[in-house]
A and B are shown apart, each in its own frame.
Chain A
Amino acid sequence: MDGQIILLIVGMAVVSYLPRALPLLMFNKIEFPDWLIKWLGFIPAAVLAALLAPDLFLIDGHFNLSVTNTYLLAALPTLLIALVTKSMIWALLGGMGSFALLQLFL
C-alpha cells in the first residue's frame, strides 16, 4: 500500500477516534450537573437537524426552495412515511424511491 495513503488513513483514524473516546474516558465516573445532562439530552435532535438542513435546502451551496430541488421534494414523502410508519427501513426505501422517481421526471 502506498505510504502516503496509509499515513492519511492513520491520521484520519486518530482524529476520528479521539473526539469519540475523550469525553467518555476523561469524564469517566464524574457526575454531570443537572443542566448539563438536560443540555446533552437535546444533542441527538440538534445534531441530526444541523446535519440534515444543508442536505435539503442547499444545492451547490445555494439556498434553493424551488421545485428543482429534488432533495427537498423527496423529503416530503419521506417525512410522511417516517411519521406514519415510525420505521427507518420504510422511510429509507420510500425516500430513495421518491428521489429516484423525481430524478426520472424532473
Chain B
Amino acid sequence: MFWQGFATGSRTAIPIALGYFPLGLAFGVLAREAGLGVIQTVFMSFMVFAGAGQFIAVGLLKTGAEIVTIVVTTFLVNLRLFLMGMALQPKLKSWSKLKLGIIASEITDETFVVASDYYTNHEPSWPFHLGLNVTSHMAWVFSSGLGASVGNLIQDPAKFGLNFALPAMFIALLVGQVKNKVTLIVAIGAGVVSLVARTLIPGNWHILLATIVAASLGVVLEKWMGK
C-alpha cells in the first residue's frame, strides 16, 4: 500500500522533476562561479531545497556579501512558504507531527501547487505526498550536482532555453489553478501588485505582499459575487 501511493506521488512529480532539471543545472553552474565546490553545491541543494532562495544566495555570495545578509535575504524570499504551509494545514491537520515535519521540509512552489491540486479531488495521502516531495527533491539535488560538475561545458545556457524553464513551469501550474473568473482576477491582481511592488519597494517583499493582497481580493470578490 505504502509503495503504491509513493509511486503515484513519484509519477506525479515527473513534470516537476523535468522542470527542476534545467534549473538545477543552471544553479550548479552559478554556485561554482560563486566559489562553491561540487560537494558544497549538492549539500546546499539537499539541505535548503529552495530554488529561488538558492539562486539569490549564490548571486549574493559572488558579490562578496556577508553570511548574515545572505541568510536574512533567503529568509525573506522564503516567507511565502509560510503561507503554503498554512494552506496545506486544513488538509493535513490530522497527521502526526513527525509526518508534518517531514512533509514540510520539502514544500516548494511546485510541490505545494501540485499537492494542493491533487487534494482537490483525492484524500490527503502520506505516501503520495512523500513520493511527490522526495522525487522532486532528488531531481533538484541530482541536477545541481550535475550542473556543478559538468555545467561548465554549457557555454551559453540561454541558447538552450534554460532561462525559461522556471517561467514555463509557473505558467503551466498557473493555468491549472485558474479555474474560474475569481481565480483569474486574483492571478492578474497578484501579478500587477507584484510588478508595482518590485519596482517601488527595495528588497524581496513583493511576492509576499502581492500574494496577501490578491488572496484577500479573492475572498472579497467571492463574497461580493454571492458565491
With an 8 A cutoff between CB atoms, is B104 at the interface? yes
- Are A92 and B67 in touch, CB under 8 angstroms? no
Q: Do A43 and B87 touch across chains, with their CB atoms under 8 A apart?
A: yes
Q: Which residues of B contact A74 (CB under 8 A)?
A: 161, 164, 167-168
* Interface flag for B219 (CB, 8 Å): yes
Partner of B190, one of A12, A49, A71: A49
The answer, among B19, B61, B170, for a CB contact under 8 Å with A8, is B61
0 or 1 for each of B153-170: is its CB under 8 Å from A? (1 = yes): 000001111111111111
* Contact of B50 with A16 in the complex, beta carbons under 8 Å: yes
Chain B residues near A54 (CB-CB < 8 A): 194-195, 198, 206
A67 at the interface (CB under 8 A from B): no
Whether B195 lies near A63 (C-beta < 8 A) is yes
Residues of A1-45 at the interface with B, using a CB-CB cut-off of 8 Å, are 1-2, 4-5, 7-13, 15-17, 19-25, 27-32, 35, 37-45
Range for the number of chain B residues in contact with chain A: 35 or more
Please determine whether A53 and B161 come into contact, CB atoms closer than 8 angstroms.
Answer: no
Tell me which of B57, B74, B186, B198 contacts A45 (CB under 8 A). B186
Chain B contacts for A38, CB-based, 8 A = 218-219, 222
Contact between B100 and A100, CB atoms less than 8 A apart: no
Total interface residues on A, CB under 8 Å, equals: 74
Tell yes or no: B1 within 8 A of A by CB: no
CB closest chain-A residue, reference B174 = A48
- Of A35, A39, A51, most B-chain CB atoms within 10 Å: A51
Which one of A75, A83, A99 has the highest number of Cβ atoms from chain B below 10 Å of its Cβ? Answer: A99
Q: Report Cα–Cα, A49/B22, bound state, in Å.
A: 21
Given A20-B107, A48-B113, A27:B86 Cβ within 8 A: yes
CA of A75 to CA of B54 in the docked complex: distance in angstroms? Answer: 24
* Chain B residues in the interface with A (C-beta under 8 A): 14-16, 18-19, 22, 36-37, 39-40, 43-44, 47-50, 52-54, 57, 61, 67, 70-72, 74-75, 78-90, 92-94, 97, 100-101, 103-105, 107, 109, 112-113, 116-117, 158-178, 183, 186-195, 198-199, 206-207, 210-211, 214-216, 218-219, 222
